[in-house]
Amino acid sequence: MQKVAFLFPGQGRVPRGLPAASRVGERLLSLAERKGLCLRERMREGRPELLEETSVAQPAILIDSLVKEEELRAAGIRPAIVAGHSLGEYAAAVSAGLLSPEEALAVVMERGRLMAGVRGGMLAIVKLPLDSVRAICEEIGPAVAVANVNGPAQVVVSGEADALKRVAAWAEGAGGRAIPLRVSGPFHSPLMARAEAGLAPAIEAVRVRPPTVPLVSSVSGRVEDDPDRWKALLLTQITACVRWGDVVEALVAQGATRAIEVGPGDVLAGLGRRITSRIEFLTVEEALDGRV
| Strands of 154-159's sheet in order across | 144-149, 154-159, 121-126, 177-180
Q: What is the DSSP letter of 287?
A: I
86, 158, 184, 189: the catalytic one is 86
Q: Residue 188 catalytic?
A: yes
30 classed as catalytic: no
Contact 263, 88 (CB under 8 A): yes
Task: Round to whole Å and give the CA distance between 266 and 276.
Answer: 16
Q: In what order do the strands lie in the sheet with 280-283?
A: 215-216, 81-84, 4-8, 258-261, 280-283
Q: Which of 158, 188, 217, 218 is catalytic?
A: 188
Burial of 40 (0-12, 13-18, 19+ CB in 10 A): middle
Q: Where would I find the beta strands (DSSP E) of 181-286?
A: 215-216, 258-261, 280-283
Q: Which sequence positions are flagged as catalytic?
A: 86, 188
